[in-house]
Structure 1
Amino acid sequence: MLRRRLPFSNSLAALLALILGLIITQSLFVSVSRLEHDKAALNFRQQADLRIAAVRQGLEEAVQVLTVLNQLFATVEPVSRAQFHSFTQPLLQRYPYIQAFNFHRLVSLAERPAYEAEMRQHTPGFVVTELGVQLQPARIRPSYSVVDYLEPMAGNEPAFGLDASLNSHYVAATRRALETGQPASTDLLRLAQGRDGQRGFLVVMPVYRRGSAPTDFATRSNLTIGDTAAVFRAGALVEKILNGGDLLSAPGIAIAVYASDRAEPSTLAYRHGDAPVRNHTGSMLPVWLRPYSDHIVEQTFEAAGQSWHIVVSGSSAPFAANHFGSLLTLIGGILFSLLAAAYLQTLARRSRRIQRLVEEQTVELRHANNLLTDDIAARQQVELALKLRERAIEASSSAIVIAHATAPDYPIEYVNPAFERITGFAASEVIGRSLRMLEGRDSDPLSLAEIRAAIEDQREGKAVVMDHHKDGAALWCDLHLGPVRDPSGVVSHFVAALHDITSMKHYEAKLQFQASRDTLTGLANRNMLNDCLNQAISYAARYGQSVAVVFVDLDRFKFVNDTLGHRAGDLLLKLIAERLLLAVRDTDTVARLGGDEFVLILPERSDANVVTASLQRIMDAVARPLTIEDHEFFLTCSLGVAIYPADGDDTDTLIKHADIAMYRAKETGRNNFQFYTPTMNEHALERLRIEGDLRNALERDEFMLVYQPQVNLRTGQIVGMEALLRWQHPQLGMVPPQRFIGLAEETGMILPIGAWVIRTACAQNQAWQRAGLGTLRMSVNLSARQFSQQDLVQSIAAVLQETGMAPHLLEIELTESLVMTDVDHAIGVLRELKALGVLLSIDDFGTGYSSLSYLKRFPIDVLKIDQSFVRDITLDADDAAIAMLIISLAHSLKLEVIAEGVETDEQLAFLRQHDCDEIQGYLFSRAVPAQACEQMLRQGKCLPPQSAQDSDQPVRRSP
């Protein structure tokens, strides 16, 4: 007897489903809302920290600039107004947020008449002034702190001649600077040159009498002659700092900067925006569910002894703006819960209807069963056979499809479970659909034609078809189709069997990818490169276009492998591959041949300017700083270019010529590109010859050292020698270094050659000492490959022990770009060398990437001014300013300065005037062999010493 279900059981299930859905929706809404709020708060914190860091760095740079200016007065006495003007102009251009540079001169009451008379000679009507209600002549006082030097004068005229000693803020800052010996900042004050009461602040630093080194407050106060000051309009300074980083364009962010350790209206220096902060006091809602969300970040720091407080606040945002995802979750959850409840209620009604029909049909079936009892025995045998066939089809691992042979749709009547498993479609979704759905919309046209012909001809057919699983995944099947005939021989149905071969196709695709792609970077490999280049050449030949083939080689890539290992090198190659792909068009091809060599195919580049612009974009992409395993690298590349059809009409020739052009780019200094020319073939052959001879040059004793003297400018005496390598080739004669040094680095020959140079130079220096020719420093250059050796320090220590030379007489020279390739590694190596006792110098300073922050971290002793700045030092104001700045910067960091390439008396006079320590160059001597140096030392060759008025100044360095 049938068991009746309670009529309300399904309705209760619908109600429970609705309640459960709403509970789950509420939980999801709360979780997503909290995540969205936290994300918005974190994003605002990052934006605020970025602005606070920018303001802090800008203020610190302002203080650092004043330190550089102060060194001008510490190293040059007296400083003329022209010198003050030429020195400050580059600083004002580089730091536009500086209102003015001042020099406050201490003038006593007795000195005031003479001082004002002297000033009126070039500034008529000059008088010392003071700031009251307005500017007025200064009253009688024992002493004055007068704005004597002022740059720029335009816009700052009211401050010229102003007595700053009446300003309590200035006096307090000056006293703090004397007590600490460091720059000191005033509080906010009204500026004489300010408009409408605009306020600013000064950073001051005392200037002492030349040659004095006071160590306490009392001696500093007695020895001071004035102070240098940088004047800032506070609001303009902060606004320029933030505008320089494009940090004021973000909507909804307000910034307030206070010149104190807390937010007080009286110390407000700058405000941008006015983000409202709503009062949520007493709100019962958690912060992430309130109608508006406000964010505030505050930070306090010091710059030049002055406290600064920054408040960054975010404007209130409506709940919907920051919680779009949670609102969608809430709405979607409610709709889903309602639909689920409605669906269950519909099932309840349908279940009741079915139950009634079952009860009615049960009565009818019992009556019909009595009539059919006699036929059961006859049909049992047939049913057993049919069930056996049905179970066989159901158990088949291949998908079975039976369709009726009714054209043109051939509707499907049956699919087995394997079909549902393989395709993801249920039987109810495909029964009644056309058999042609098995053809696959992405199948090969020949396979489709075969299937259609088999159906039309009512015969067997076989094909491989490509379709998609229900979830969208690719599905490859081996399809077998056959007709089914009735007892009269007429085709009534078609049976199709599908075997899943997707895994086999994926394996084939993987093998094909590996055959055409580089396994590390995923770029095209050599095989695919040849195919792509052949296609590009064919297309260009057909339409009369050109194709550019670019050979890219990374400069000093081996340095990364040698310092951090091959794993870091592989990671670097992947990053470079991504940058190259982004630097070219989608239609261009980027391939990796192996190691650090890449080849680019740039079709349809008909204009030489377009090609050049593309090459520069590629070089810029590679040159951006890289961070690998917490190490920052500055990498460059050398490019060689060959153009179809001018430089070749087949793949091998174009790639070979691009390779030759790339080597030419390396020989001309790296970090550039070269177009192929026919003469490069001859150069390449010569390069091969030089490379072969270079491997034997050391054994054949063909190398020699020449030495260029380094002269102290105060005494005029030779104090050091720089050892320079030369190659005396038996057929080519004297080979200049630029023709073989780069090649020696690429081939690794620079390591034994460099070791020979250090050993020979140290031995020669000891020989001069034993001959009684004085104690000299010996300077030796290190290449990038040598600097990356693991045993560099040990090998230099072994040479010093072998030759017996004192470590402090050996000076190791490194180029600026070399130490900036990997700053952290360079600092570690330099400290180990410094611990050994040798001197360290930075060669070609000013031509690389150095910054003040890095320069302070390097344990170096000497800066060498590059000859490119010295060449026009008396003709070009920019070169003169740069040289003066380098000298002042070096002396402020307690470093020595050597100027290279000094060739004229005018250059010598300029360097002496600005207190350069040493020089080397053709004015004194070219680089000459050891015998000529020995004769020079025996004759006592020297420069005329510095003038008598400076003879009492101490010599900065002697060996």
Structure 2
Amino acid sequence: MIHKRPSASLSSAAVLALVAGLMVTIALFVGMRRLEHDKVDLEFHQRANTRILTVQQQLDQTIQVVKVLNQTFASFEHVTREQFRSFTASLLQRHSYVQAFNFHRLIPDDQREAYEAGMRSIYPGYRMMQMEGSKLVPARFADRHLIVDYIEPMAGNEAALGLDVTPNPYLAEAVQWATDTGQPAATSLLTLAQGGGRVRGFLVVMPVYRHGVALDSVEARRAAVIGDTAAVFNAATLIEKILGENGMLNDVSVDIGVYASGEVDHRHLAFRKGNPVAVSYPKNFAGMPHWLFYDYPEPIVYDFDVAGRPWKIVVSRQEELFAARHNGAISTLIGGITASFLFAAFVQVLASRSRRVQRLVEQRTAELRHANEMLVEDIAARRRAEDALNLRQRAIEASANAIIITSAQAPLYPIEYVNPAFERITGFTSNDVAGRSCSLLWAGDRDQPAIQEVMGAVREQREARFTLRAYGKDGRMFWADAYMAPVREETGVVNHYVVTLNDITATKRYQAELEFQANRDTLTGLANRNLLQDRLRQASAYAARYGHPVWVLFFNLDRFKFVNDTLGHHAGDQLLKVVADRLRAAVRETDTIARLSGDEFVLVLPERTEEHLSPAVVRRIMDSVAEPIVMESYEFVMSSSVGIAVCPSDGGDAETLIKHAGIAMYRAKETGRNNFQFYTSAMNERAMERLRIESDLRNALERNEFALHYQPQLDLKTGRLIGAEALIRWHHPVLGTVPPGRFIELAEEIGLIVPIGVWVLRTACRQSMAWQRAGMGPLRIAVNLSARQFYQQDLVATIRDILAETGLEPQLLELELTESMMMNDVEVAVDILRNLKAIGVQLSIDDFGTGYSSLSYLKRFPIDLLKIDQSFVRDITLDPDDAAIVLSIISLAHSLRLQVIAEGVETEAQLAYLQRHGCDYMQGYYFSRPLPTTEFELMLGSVASAHVLGSIDAPAVHPETIDT
């Protein structure tokens, strides 16, 4: 019998097995690819949103810095260059990303020449410049100029000082918009003068209006504007610091592009990391979604506003880092295909064997074939179910979020499963929580709205999203963002709940830090100006509603600068922290303490019905601060000066109350420090007068408003006129003659005393030489030096140049110094005095007896003359104590081989006493008051004709004769 050879073709069973295996494999591959893609996409969105939020919030904070700076100009009618430097120093220290702070002053062209001359007295060689391309050229003619008048820090920004920014259209547009609205405005990207034309950045400006002008319309604001304050930012450096300080520059997987415009345009690119918007991939491949083969998330484009100007951020993934994230899916695909072919081969072997057996036993072969087919289908179904379950289990265990599965059995709803992420986040193991309620996560902290949301969702068997305070096994609290969903059977009955938890503690902490920075002083933790104004508004409303006054205390430490100068700024910061702690301990919890800047604090003390405010409360606070402070082995006692404004009598709004309290504080400083003063309207008038005098004083030298008067000095032994003291007078065009007491101290404070002192020296020496050339003989000219002038590094060189310029002999110039001036730093003072003596000038100590010098120091000073203060001379014939002091000074001077001159001699009895006890020289109204130049020349002519005056009380030297 001929047997037919078995067919070698693939059996239908093997084909079915192969197809079934491939379908299961593809389904598993697609599912895992979807999970892998979603994971990458979620990670990317979290990173991108964190960076976008960080950049936007930090840029918004820069606007607050500009507002803080602008508030200084709104609070004070005139901010000096020194005040601007002092105020911006703390801002620059806290906000290192600021390139510079500017004050742009609006200068009409007809005032340009006067303005440049005034600036050259401060900055020799100063000229107004403007940018042309990347070069600085002299400013061209224009109706008005917007000049960089103040700039801090000066180091690195010298090129911007005096820059006329009017020709810059971008800055002009921002300034115009800010002027019209009164709000901060940002420029587009522009070239900064500070970088030599290579640095691009932007400015945020706020207008400065003239004080006392109503700003109720755009026209009124344009008419009242006098300039603007600005913060200069290097755009790339600013955003790089924002991202770097938050640890966001080290992530090489994310590309970021920031544009200072509403369009993605390279011309407006402020910052770029990587190659944003460079990701490209096919949207579909053979009709299939892109995520099946690609892990590239879509770029995120976000629009926001910076001070009125639209900005745009583009965040994207780097292609090369995310091109092969589907290793698990690929492994599943390869393994599934391999298993499918192996299984198909196995089925093929079985089928071949069945066909051979079929030739022998046809019926048994058919039965076995049927049984094998059923077995194959059953195995495939079991394999698919097992693989699907394994996939779900692996996905849950690989999740970065905590996943909890609980029973729906009330009332405990026991936990049946937690994934590894839950154990990592909470510290609880699966054994710790098995069979327990989810309420263990919030422990005893049940007063949370989120818990009520959970209970309501369970009752209603619905989904819920909530944020709650959760607690780990060690008691550590963390913030959790949770999502809960019910699991239903085929009949719709809920049998389980699935809860996912995401730890958002870091995000919450960052939000809290941002809020703290916006309302708190970073050094002391006290309220800053923003929070202070809010608290003051609340306190004012309380005072108006209940009739209980609110006290606003402007608190300033006396001589705080001494600590910074001697121990450094770190020690100064530590001292400020100690003072802040003492202020907290000295007031109630409901009171507000704020630090404005430097050593200035503001306290808001509302009165309660059961507790009244009184001066004793203020004194108690001052005493608590004045307790000794030990720092670096030194003990300090920090006294304070306090100004008090009362709401509502001294003002109803925050700015007015702070301003009036500040005025009262300066009055407390003027009255000797370590005291407090209540605000009065007279103080405001005094402050305004001080501002007017300060403004006019800056121009007095240029306008030739200063003049010198000369008070004669006589030799008490011979009666000869041996010299004169040069005394400055200010002839104000409106106020008339302003005495030195009203402007000398002010000139010291604002730094004008140095150029004024140089003018006095040059004018006095020149006048002395003019008298010599006129044949009136050599006269010794005495000139007073201020403390600031004395410690100028170029003092000796300046005096040497003036003597060479005028031709005056050095021994005819006498420099008058005070005791307190030299006692500030004895070693430095001795060196300066020796250098002055090397020139050949005469040195005298003015107002001797009123200072704190000792004999040991007096011996070290190379001086020639002691000047007895007029407070001792006035009563030498009436008060034995004054007489004894004068006699002691004369004896002390002569024992040290020094000469003595008495000032303020007004009576014949005083003159006789001084002659009797050996005083060498005198000056005073008994002989002559200080005389203008012409009158002094007339007196010199009469003296020259007489050659020698003879006795002091001769008619020739009688005061009436001199006055006429």
State the TM-score, normalizing by the size of structure 1.
0.50
Tell me if structure 1 keeps the 8 A contact 2:543–2:549: yes
| Partner residue in 2 for 1:725 | 728
How far did residue 724 of structure 1 move? 1.8
Deviations 1:127-180 (A, max 9, x none): xxxxxxxxxxxxxxxxxxxxxxxxxxxxxxxxxxxxxxxxxxxxxxxxxxxxxx
Q: Are 1:459 and 2:494 an aligned pair?
A: no
Q: 1:369-398: CA deviations, max 9, x gaps?
A: xxxxxx999998776655544433332212
Superposed counterparts of 1:794-943, under 5 Å = 794-821=797-824, 826=829, 829-845=832-848, 847=850, 850=853, 860-873=863-876, 875=878, 897-905=900-908, 907-908=910-911, 918-940=921-943
Distance in 2 separating the partners of 1:757 and 1:639 = 37
- Matched residue, 1:130: none
Answering whether residue 789 of structure 2 is matched by residue 786 of structure 1, we say: yes
SS of structure 2 residue aligned to 1:780: strand
**1:615–1:673: 8 Å Cα contact kept in structure 2?**
no
Q: Name the SS for the 1:514 alignment partner.
A: helix
Residues 400 and 497, structure 1, Cα contact 8 Å, conserved in 2: yes
Match of 1:501 in 2: 504
Seen in structure 2, the aligned counterparts of structure 1 residues 689 and 945 have a Cα distance that, compared at 3 Å, is closer
Alignment-derived partner of residue 690 in structure 1: 693
CA distance in 2, matches of 1:902, 1:470: 89
**1:742 partner letter:** E
In 1, the alpha carbon distance for the partners of 2:872 and 2:435 equals 87
Tell me which residue corresponds to 2:761.
Answer: 758
Matches within 5 A, 1:120-269: none
Q: Which amino acid counterpart does residue 469 of structure 2 have in structure 1? A: M
Q: Quote the residue 2:615 is aligned against.
A: 609
Shift of residue 728, structure 1, vs aligned partner: 1.2
Quote the offset at 1:860 in angstroms. 4.9
Change over 3 Å in CA distance of 1:483–1:553 after alignment to 2 = same
Cα distance in 2, alignment partners of residues 833 and 403 from structure 1: 92
Shift in Å at residue 653 of structure 1?
Answer: 1.7
Q: Does structure 2 conserve the Cα–Cα contact (< 8 Å) formed by 1:581 and 1:590?
A: no
Q: What is the CA–CA distance in structure 1 between the aligned matches of 2:815 and 2:903, rounded to whole Å?
A: 16
Structure 2 distance, partners of 1:598, 1:897, is 48
**Residue 777 of structure 1: aligned partner:** 780
The percentage of aligned residue pairs carrying the same residue is: 60
Q: Distance in 2 between matches of 1:752 and 1:499?
A: 68
State the 1:542 CA deviation.
Answer: 4.9
* 2:583 and 2:621 in contact (8 A); partners too: no
1:642 match: secondary structure: strand
Specify the alignment match of 1:647 in structure 2.
Answer: 650
- Rounded to whole Å, the distance in 2 between the matches of 1:913 and 1:469 is 94
Structure 1 residues 502 and 490, CA, compared in 2 at 3 Å: closer, same or farther?
Answer: same
Q: How far apart, CA to CA, are the structure 1 residues paired with 2:807 and 2:631?
A: 42
| Contact 1:404–1:492 (8 Å) recurs in 2 | yes
> For the Cα contact (< 8 Å) 1:550–1:658, is it kept in 2?
yes
**Contact map agreement 2:622 2:640 (CA 8 A) in 1:** no
Q: 1:409 to 1:743 in 2, by over 3 A?
A: farther
Q: After the TM superposition, which residues 54-93 of structure 1 pair with which residues of structure 2 at under 5 Å, given as runs?
A: none
CA, structure 1 residues 853+836, in 2 after alignment: closer, same or farther (shift >3 Å)? same
Corresponding residue to 1:531 among 534, 538, 547: 534
Provide the C-alpha distance between the structure 1 equivalents of 2:840 and 2:471, rounded to a whole number of angstroms: 72
Q: Which letter does structure 1 place at the counterpart of 2:579?
A: R
Distance 1:677 1:763, change over 3 A: same
Shift of 1:530: 0.7
In 2, the alpha carbon distance for the partners of 1:499 and 1:832 equals: 74
For 1:430 and 1:842, the matched residues in 2 are separated by: 87
CA distance in 2, matches of 1:506, 1:767: 76
Partner of 1:579: 579
Equivalences for residues 593-604 of structure 1 within 5 A: 593-594=596-597, 598-604=601-607
Quick check: 1:482 aligned with 2:485?
A: yes
Give the equivalent residue in structure 1 for 2:302: none
Other-structure match for 1:517: 520
Secondary structure of 2:800's counterpart equals helix
What is the letter of the counterpart of residue 447 of structure 1?
A
| Alpha carbons of structure 1 residues 436 and 731: separation in structure 2 relative to 1, 3 Å | same
Structure 2 CA distance, aligned partners of 1:413 and 1:913? 113
- Describe the shift of the 1:822–1:883 C-alpha distance in structure 2 as closer, same or farther (beyond 3 A): same
- Asked if the contact 1:702–1:727 (Cα under 8 Å) also holds between the matched residues in 2, the reply is yes
Q: 1:826 Cα deviation (Å)?
A: 4.8
1:278-357 alignment, distance < 5 Å: none
Contact 2:583 2:593 in 1 (8 A): no
Query: How far is the alpha carbon of 1:780 from its aligned partner?
Result: 2.4
Q: 1:647, CA displacement in angstroms?
A: 1.1
User: Relative contact order, CA 8 A, sep 6+: which one is greater?
Assistant: 1
1-side partners of 2:473 and 2:890: how far apart?
74
* 1:719 CA drift (Å): 4.1
CA pair 448-543 structure 1, distance change in 2 beyond 3 A: farther
* 8 Å Cα contact 1:632-1:823 kept in structure 2: no
**1:178 match:** none
Secondary structure of the 2:704 match is coil
CA RMSD of aligned residues (A): 4.6
- Shift of the alpha carbon at 1:481? 2.5
Taking a change above 3 Å as real, the CA distance of residues 599 and 914 of structure 1, as seen in their structure-2 partners, is: farther
Alpha-carbon contact 1:897-1:918 (below 8 Å) kept: yes
Aligned to 1:548: 551
**Is the contact between residue 634 and residue 821 of structure 1 (CA under 8 Å) also seen in structure 2?**
no
**Is 2:701 the counterpart of 1:701?**
no
Cα pair 2:442 2:471 within 8 Å, conserved: no
CA contact (8 A) 2:844 2:864 kept: yes
Q: Aligned equivalents of 2:774 and 2:802: distance in 1?
A: 20
Q: CA 1:476 to 1:724, structure 2 compared with 1: closer, same or farther past 3 Å? A: farther
Measured after TM superposition, the shift of residue 657 of structure 1 is: 1.9
Summarize deviations over 1:844-895 as a string: whole Å, max 9, x none: 4555555566666655555544444444455556655655665666666665
Task: Tell me which amino acid in the other structure corresponds to 2:695.
Answer: G
Partner of 1:740: helix, strand, or coil? helix
Would you say the 8 A contact 1:666–1:742 is kept in 2?
no
Structure 1 residues not aligned, in runs of 5+: 1-374, 947-959
C-alpha separation between the residues in 1 aligned to 2:453 and 2:535? 33
Residues 808 and 430 from structure 1, CA distance in 2 versus in 1: closer, same or farther, beyond 3 angstroms? farther
Unaligned runs of 5+ in 2: 1-377, 954-964
- 3-state SS in 2 of match to 1:462: strand
Distance 1:873 1:451, change over 3 A: farther
Amino acid in structure 2 at the alignment position of 1:744: A
Aligned equivalent of 1:83: none
Instruction: Tell me the amino acid that sits aligned with residue 932 of structure 2.
Output: P
- Take 1:590 and 1:821, find their aligned partners in 2: how far apart are those partners? 34
| SS of aligned partner of 1:397 | coil
- Between the aligned partners of 2:900 and 2:949, the Cα distance in structure 1 is 19
Query: Quick one: distance in 2 between partners of 1:731 and 1:450?
Result: 75
CA distance in 2, matches of 1:787, 1:470: 70
More divergent stretch after superposition (735-744 vs 548-557): 548-557
Structure 1 counterpart of 2:582, which letter?
L
**What is the one-letter code of the residue matched to 2:766?**
A
> How far off is 1:611 after superposition?
5.5
Deviations 1:703-749 (A, max 9, x none): 11122334455555444432222111222211122222233334333
Whole-angstrom distance in 2 between the partners of 1:779 and 1:478: 81
Distance 2:569 2:459 in 1: 61
Check whether the contact 1:632–1:821 (CA below 8 A) recurs between aligned residues.
no
